[in-house]
Amino acid sequence: MEVRLLGPVEIWADGRPVEIGPPQRRHTLAALAVDAGRPVTIEALAARVWDEPPPTAGRVLQVHITHLRRLVAPVRLLRRSSGYVLDVAPERVDAHRFADLIRQARDADPDTALTLLRTARGLWRAEPLDGLKGSWVERSRHAYREQYLAATVAWGLAELRAGHPLAVLGPLTELAAEHPLTEPLADVVIRAYAAAGRPADALAYYAEFRRRLAEELGVDPSAPLQALHQAVLRGETTAPAQVTAVVPAQLPADVPGFAGRGPALRALDDLLTETAMAVAVVSGTAGVGKTALAVHWSHTVRSRFPDGQIFLSLRGFDPTGQVVSPQEALRSLLDALGVAPERVPPTLDAQVALYRSVVAGRRLLLVLDNARDVEQVRPLLPGTATVVVVVTSRAHLTGLLAGGANSVPLGLLSKLEAEELMVNRLGPEVVAHRDALDQVIAACARLPLALAIAVARTRQTNFPLAALAAELGEASDRLTALEVGDPASDVRAVLSWSYAALSEPAARLFRLLGLAVGPDVDVPALCSLAGRPKLDLRELTRASLVTEYLPGRYSQHDLLREYAAELSRRDDPEEDRRAATVRLLDHYLHTAYAADQLLNPTREPIVLPLGEPAAGASPERPEDLDAAMAWYGEHRAVLMAALREAAAIGLDRIAWQLAWALDTYSARKGHLHDQVEAWQIAIEAAGRLGELPARAYGHRNLSQADTRLGRFGEANDNLTRALELFTTVGDRIGQARTQHHLAYLSGQQKQHATALEHARLALALYAGTDDRTGQAEALNAIGWYHALNGEFEQTLSPCRQALELFEADDDLHGAAGAWDSLGYAHHHLGQLAEAIDCYEHGLALARTLHHDGFIADLLVHLGESHHAAGQPAAARTAWTEAEQLLKALDHPGLAGVQESLRRLE
């Protein structure tokens, strides 16, 4: 059985289509199939099927699901506490199989990649979700179209590399007509014309593309496309390079029932006509709809920004006080633009320079949401006319306005706009209840956030509008004393009314949400926070008191979170609040610790051992390495927030342990700035605890990040302090590992003789201990630094000893490193067959670790040995894969590999 979404929604069984039934049933199937194998909540399911779910949505869905269960047999359609799950392998759904084929193609050799891309395109039958309507369908359809566009560009390039230009011209030019401003597509079309012996057509297409850009966007083609044009003019080869440019599409979902704001929308439209860098500051009180305006407008114009749209919350008025620093924001922006984390320089000025170089000439839309002040925003301005920036803030940011930014002040909705919002959300029949409608609008002070919550309460309970107006009036009377002349304060009346209507469990959970750390929280963490094995958030989501912005992940507006925290401080005993916070932090700590064990199973024991998690906490246990890496990726910002919170409230042991649990992941993914911050906090926490070994460990690991960032002086200071502390407490293994780190630091500074001495000191310190991993690492380091000193014969013995220890302990990472060292020595001894064998052994291990940087290094070395052995085809294969990986990593070694490939031409 398979489900097809890339065309009309269909079920196929035994090679034949199965009759599904009415469109709404097909819609329900699609809403489940996009998350095949994962539960979809009732609320999410209803929101996907209806833009405005009716009161009977639950019952209607049950009917459709009953029918679907019979249709998809033997596949199971299971009921879960929070919703339903289509229990089918994702590859049985064509959209998932399409995405997986594209992912495989990125890592495959050219011939295999071409086959995979051809297969992927063959799954595309027609318009995705054909025959279905609704805002969720349109968002999903747009996402699938973007995937197809990227896949077709990759396919076109692969066909051109294989020498098949005539096979791609028709499909590419047809797609280019649908996407006339997409530069990667224009690039491959021009290359295809040139490769097919039609340079005049290539030049004509470039001229037409340039004209469209000038007329519709007022810009010229990017520098790479102009260079391609010049190459065609000169009659040079236009062999395609691998396209790796990241096109971010980060806009949140458009706002349902958006109303009014005509002048503000027109002011934002004016940005599109700016000839200099276009910046708008949308300012106004909390809850007035600044983010809604920015997001809604961005959706209406996103086609004007083919190089991507980035949305970044700066959390300038976050109730927890964890404002995003300019450095954190720049790292997020560079990450969104595809810059590898380890390439991000340490200083703010250098980060700004890199960021502006990356965005130069790219047609991007940048939304900086919830900015606190000018100092937070100014480093994030790109300095190019091709990027449009929209900033939202409660402050006016007059410093930006003085620099030429456009001011878009946002006040309360007019009475007509508020009425339009109510009609859009509740239907035109509400106009018949004029008095009640006016009373509700007045009670909500025409504040969009308050109106949205009131509407949610009405729809949730099917409350008569008159009853809603009466309750709001009573709530407002009770809270008059809290009003201070700020319209945002009036939202308390609506919140108190909505909160009072909650059941006791939902009310408690709402208060606890005020204790959550980080930008969002998922269901397992909420269970630990509440001390309950299961939770039902439907009551809160229906009341618009929390938003499920991703499946299973929840966030709140600042005002809601602040109100929740206020209620918790008022109604919950301090010991209960403290216990809930400890449960939450223990949840993140113990889950991260379990994930780290999968990433680094041979890691030395933690210096401050974990006890049992707090009673009521229910940490997760990722199933395998892939699940662990995915969990870290989803929770990275939350984990850093948890670490900061633990230190801020005096839970120093947890703070230090969180830094330890984050270290392997941060190192593997190149999040060096996270490592620096985490270990700086951990060192201070260990100092307050009086734990010298923990302080020593912190200094030593901080040095690793410093070294990789090129901050050699800071790294040396930290290692010196670590060695002093380990010596003080008599920890030989700690001293040995510090000497190993000193060897690495010296090696990075090309001081190979000094590095060798430190490696020997490390091995001597390991003698007499039972740390086999440390001994193996020291032996491999001794061999490696012999090799870097040109002493290749002296490399072999210690590296072979290291390999035996690594293999005996199933240390795949260490063994791969030892094979690399041995291959390097054999290569320089002229023993090329042995070198190739060593590199292939190491490469097989590195692939199992999903360590792309290590794989690329080994491929580079393997290619060098093949080239020296007179095997140019094998060298090209290795270097081409290395080139693809290094491009994806934005690695400085890319130029060297490309030069090696040119030597083969």
Residue listed under structure tokens 């309950």: 532
Residue listed under structure tokens 């120093």: 652
What is the edge-to-edge ordering of all strands in the sheet holding 521-522? 521-522, 553-555, 547-550
Instruction: Tell me if 880 sits within 8 A of 887, measured CB to CB.
Output: no
How far is Cα 860 from Cα 882, in angstroms, rounded to an integer? 6
Tokens of 151: 């896949």
C-alpha dihedral (522, 524, 525, 530), degrees to nearest 10: 120
Instruction: Tell me if 360 sits within 8 A of 384, measured CB to CB.
Output: yes
Q: What is the DSSP string of 141-208?
A: HHHHHHHHHHHHHHHHHHHHHTT-HHHHHHHHHHHHHHSTT-HHHHHHHHHHHHHTT-HHHHHHHHHH
Tokens of 818: 């030892």
3-state helix, strand, coil in the chain (%, to 5): 65, 5, 30
Q: How many helices (H) and strands (E) does the chain have?
A: 40, 14
Q: Is the dihedral of CA 69, 72, 78, 82 positive or negative?
A: negative
Cβ neighbours of 375 (radius 10 Å)? 11
* Residue 615 CA: distances (Å) to CA of 521, 587, 657: 20, 11, 18
pLDDT computed for residue 346 by the predictor: 74
Name the residue type at position 180.
P
Query: What is the phi/psi pair of residue 432, to 5°?
Result: -70, -20
Instruction: Tell me if 12 sits within 8 A of 18, measured CB to CB.
Output: yes
Beta pairing, strands 40-41 & 2-4: unpaired
CA-based radius of gyration for the chain: 30
Q: What is the 3-state secondary structure (H, E, C) of 277-341?
A: CEEEEEECCCCCCHHHHHHHHHHHHHHHCCCCEEEEECCCCCCCCCCCCHHHHHHHHHHHCCCCH
Q: Output the pTM of the full model.
A: 0.60
- The pLDDT averaged over each successive group of 10 residues in the chain (905 residues) is 88 84 88 82 82 84 85 79 79 85 79 90 88 82 77 88 87 88 85 89 90 66 73 70 62 83 89 73 84 92 86 82 86 83 74 76 87 90 82 84 80 87 82 82 80 73 69 51 41 69 89 90 94 87 76 79 88 94 97 93 89 94 89 92 95 97 88 92 96 96 90 94 95 94 93 95 92 93 94 95 92 92 95 94 85 86 93 92 79 78 83
Residue listed under structure tokens 């990726």: 633
Angle, CA 167 vertex, CA 165 and CA 173 arms, to 5° = 85
Q: Is the dihedral of CA 557, 561, 567, 572 positive or negative?
A: positive
pLDDT computed for residue 243 by the predictor: 39
How far is Cα 46 from Cα 141, in angstroms, rounded to an integer? 18
Tokens of 113: 């990649």
pLDDT computed for residue 486 by the predictor: 46
* Residue 341 CA: distances (Å) to CA of 333, 752, 894: 11, 27, 16
pLDDT computed for residue 490 by the predictor: 52
How far is Cα 709 from Cα 675, in angstroms, rounded to an integer? 11
15 membership: H or E segment, kind and range: none
